[in-house]
Amino acid sequence: MKATQQLEQQLKRRSKAAKLEIWGRVVSFSALLLIVAVVVAIIGFVASKGIATFTSNHVNLWDFLTGKQWNPNITDANGKPEVGALPMIVGSFLITILSALVATPFAIGTAVFMNEISPNKGAKILQPVTELLVGIPSVVYGFIGLSVVVPVTRAIFGGSGFGILSGTCVLFVMILPTVTSMSADALKSVPRYYREASLALGATQWQTIYKVVLRAATPGLMTAVVFGMARAFGEALAVQMVIGNAALMPNSLVSPSSTLTSVLTTGIGNTVMGSLQNNALWSLALVLLLMSLIFNLIIRLIGRKGRLQ
């Protein structure tokens, strides 16, 4: 009986591992909490500034979302400032979707190549090159866009060369490395025995890739695309240099247009904090946040569906 009690005592004493576990939970949770605080702070900051346009400057939300004139310095015939964000919303939307559409097959194709077909070449050439490109400042991308992409577009499609098409080309190259390396990671996390099982069943390599590996990696690939789109959304400097940055509704892919970020970045230093002009720009940032939220949710839904099948 005494031995039992002693054992019970030993077993119920809080071990070092249990203490460490609590410590680890606390530490890692505080780190997460910190990030959440950062996210909440920034989102709150943008929201409070962005909403001021509607609350303290009394701009009609509907006018803001559907208006096509962006001249915050000027008031229109009704005495309301001209803050119509539709051209920028459409511009951002188009350029993000288009560049993701173009980049995704290339990125996933390259990732598959790196991971399934020629891991050796992939690790030796593709991975370092892609990692290198992530670090090139957007201003450099912008300049290459300006001196290479815009003239080529102009020569082929006419017009000034500035526009969504040029922007898409530049963004495509910019997000390619991010999407590729994240896709490669997603493919890497598919267990080897999935492939072996499929190959053992007599499937060709392509069938295995297409039906097994890509299916299993769908959520990860989705994340990669979302991240690419997020980067495309948030990119300003490079896009601003090649899209033309004119607050006009895009009537073709080669007419000068603008994105939320490009107008935001161009204007923010020239306006006074707290003024309508400044608040209107923050409203653009808020729209940007909401749009990226919506994109995220859509992709998540797709990802979930893919997983269920």
- Closest approach, Cβ 195 to other proteins, in A, equals 14
* Cα–Cα distance list, 301 to 102, 221, 243, 259, 272 (Å): 21, 13, 31, 26, 41
Which residues within the stretch 129-158 sit at the binding site for other proteins (CB under 8 A)?
129-140, 143-144, 146-148, 150-151, 154
Long-range contacts of 236-239 (CB under 8 A, 24+ apart): 236/138, 236/261, 236/262, 236/264, 236/265, 237/137, 237/138, 237/139, 237/142, 237/265, 238/138, 238/139, 238/141, 238/142, 238/145, 238/170, 238/171, 238/174, 239/95, 239/142, 239/167, 239/170, 239/171
- Closest approach, Cβ 60 to other proteins, in A, equals 20
Residue 3 interacts with other proteins (CB under 8 A): yes or no: yes
CA distance 184 to 252: 35
- Closest approach, Cβ 67 to other proteins, in A, equals 13
Residue 270 interacts with other proteins (CB under 8 A): yes or no: yes
Which residues within the stretch 104-123 sit at the binding site for other proteins (CB under 8 A)?
105-106, 109-110, 112-114, 117-118, 122
Which residues within the stretch 280-299 sit at the binding site for other proteins (CB under 8 A)?
285, 288-289, 292-293, 296-297
Please select the residue that binds other proteins; options are 215, 227, 302, 306, rule is CB under 8 A: 227
- Through-space distance between the first and last CA atoms of the chain, rounded to whole angstroms: 57
Q: Which string of x and - marks every residue 189-208 that binds other proteins (by CB under 8 A)?
A: x-x------------xxxx-
Please select the residue that binds other proteins; options are 167, 220, 250, 303, rule is CB under 8 A: 220
Please select the residue that binds other proteins; options are 65, 101, 201, 273, rule is CB under 8 A: 273
* Residue 46 CB partners (closer than 8 Å, separation 6+): 282, 285, 286, 289
Please select the residue that binds other proteins; options are 88, 100, 171, 186, rule is CB under 8 A: 186
Which residues within the stretch 85-104 sit at the binding site for other proteins (CB under 8 A)?
none
CA distance 243 to 238: 9
Residue 72 interacts with other proteins (CB under 8 A): yes or no: yes
Q: Are strands 70-75 and 81-83 parallel, antiparallel or unpaired?
A: antiparallel
Residue 252 interacts with other proteins (CB under 8 A): yes or no: no
Residue 36 interacts with other proteins (CB under 8 A): yes or no: yes
The answer to whether 282 and 49 are in contact (CB under 8 A) is yes
- Closest approach, Cβ 43 to other proteins, in A, equals 7
Please select the residue that binds other proteins; options are 66, 196, 234, 298, rule is CB under 8 A: 234
Local structure of 70: helix, strand or coil: strand
